A and B are shown apart, each in its own frame.
Chain A
Amino acid sequence: MSYLDELAKELTRVGIRGRLRSRIVAEAADHLADSDVVSFGEARTIAQRFADELATAQSRRAALAAFAALAVAGVGFAGAWLLVAPAGGWPDVFSAEVVGLGVAASLGMLVCPQVAFAAGLLTLLCAWRLRRLAAAPAAEVSLLLRRTRTALGFGVAAMLSLALYALEFRAELAGWYTLAVAIGGVALTVPLAAVAATVRRTARLRTVVPGEAGSVFDDLPVELPRRPWVLCLGVAAATAVASLVAGGADEGPRNAVVEGALVVVCFAALGRRLGLRGP
C-alpha cells in the first residue's frame, strides 16, 4: 500500500471523507513530489491531527451558526407571538381542532423557545471559551456539539409548535395569520436544519485529544461557587421575579411559579447533557 493510500485510509478512519479527503491526499501528493514520507510524518498521526483540529474549528463554527440561526428564528417567533392580538387574540387552549395537539402546541411554544435560548447561550459561551484552542479535548468538542444539537432541536420544536398552533386554532385566528405563521414557522426551520447537518458531519470526526470537558462555571465570565443546584435555584428565582414583575398583579404570580418550576425541571432533565451538572 502506498503512503497516499495509507493516508486516505487513515483519513477515512478518523471520519474525513469525500471531497475534503481527496483534497488532503492531493495536497500531500503535491508536497511529496518535493519531499519524502519520513519528513512528512506518519499517515496515522497526520490524519489524527486533521480530525482533532478540524473538529475543534468546525464545532465552534457550527455553534456560532446555530446561535445566528436561532436568533433569526427567535425574531420570527417573537413577531408571531406579538401578532396574535391583532389576529383575534389568544384562543382558549381547549378550542383547538384536536385538543391534544392544541395543548401540545401551546406547551411547545412555552417551553421549547426558552430551552433553545438557554442551550444556545451555553453553546456560545463554550465556543467562546474554546476560541484559542487549536485542538480542544474530545470531551469538550463532544459537549459543544451536544449543546448545539440541543439548542437546534428545541429551536426546530419551537417553530413546529408555532406552525401547529396556528393550524390547530385556525378557526379562532385570522386567515392571514394562520397562513403566515404556518409558512414562516416551517421556513425558519430550514436554517436550523442546515446547521444541524453541519453538526452531524462534524460529529463524525473522531478526535482523541485527552482532557475533561469544562463545566458551565468555566464558561461563565464571572467566578461563582461551583454548586450547580444553587446556580439552578438562583436562575429559577431570578426568572420567577422577572415573570412576576412582567406579568403584573393578575398573571404575575402564576407566571412566576410556572417559569421558576420550568427552570428547575429543565435543569434536572437536561443538566447532565448540557454540562451543567455532574453525573
Chain B
Amino acid sequence: VKADALRGHLDVLVLAALRGAPAHGYAVIEELRQRSSGAFELAEGTVYPVLHRLEAEGLLTSAWSVVSGRRRRIYRLTRRGGSVLGAREAEWRQFAAAVEAVLA
C-alpha cells in the first residue's frame, strides 16, 4: 500500500497502534509494520508529524522517559483519543463493508 493511499488513514492507524499500550515513535512504526505484515510503504519519519499533530489536537499526550537506558518520547492515547478512535473505527468498518458489498 503506497504512502499516498495511506495518508487519509494514518491517524486512525496510529491511534490504533497506541491503543494497547503507550509507545515511542519507532515502536508505533514497528507495530504498524507487524500488524499489516509489512504492507504499508511509508517513510518512517512521516509518522512523527502525525504523532505531533494528534498530540496538538489532544488525542495523544507524550513525555520523555528512559527506556532501557535510552531517553525516548513516549506517546499515550488520551480519553478523547480513545473515543475518536472508536468513532473512526466504526466509520471505517461501515465504509469497508459497503465497498466489500459492491465488489462482491
Contacts and interface: CB of A to CB of B under 8 A. Distances in A.
Contacts of B26: 30-31, 34-35
B4 to A, nearest CB: 13
Contact of A50 (B44, B49, B57, B70): B49
Contacts of B72: 30
| Tier of interface size on chain B | 20 to 34
Contact of B49 (A23, A26, A34, A53): A53
A50 B52 contact: yes
Interface string B1-30: 000000110110000000000001110000
A45 B49 CA distance: 11
Most buried by A among B26, B45, B50: B45
Interface residues of A, number: 27
A170 B44 CA distance: 64
Nearest to B55: A57
A30 B70 contact: yes
Given A53-B53, A58-B56, A134-B53, A40 B45 contact: yes
A155 B46 CA distance: 38
B11 A134 contact: yes
B93 interface: no
Chain A interface main SS type? helix
A134 B50 contact: yes
B56 A54 contact: yes
A245 interface: no
B89 to A, nearest CB: 15
Interface in A48-93: 49-50, 52-54, 56-58, 60-61
Contacts of A33: 70
Contacts of B56: 54, 57-58, 61
Contacts of B53: 53-54, 56-57, 134
B49 A46 contact: yes
A230 B40 CA distance: 49
B73 A40 contact: no
Interface in B31-78: 43-46, 48-50, 52-53, 56-57, 70-73
A199 B71 CA distance: 32
A121 B11 CA distance: 28
Interface of A: 23-24, 26-28, 30-31, 33-35, 39-42, 45-46, 49-50, 52-54, 56-58, 60-61, 134
Given A27-B48, A42-B43, A57-B57, 16 more contacts: A30-B26, A30-B72, A40-B43, A41-B46, A45-B46, A46-B43, A46-B45, A46-B48, A46-B49, A49-B49, A50-B49, A53-B50, A53-B52, A53-B53, A54-B49, A58-B56
7 cross-chain pairs, A with B, having the tightest CB-CB distances, nearest first = A41-B43, A41-B45, A46-B45, A57-B56, A53-B53, A40-B45, A49-B49
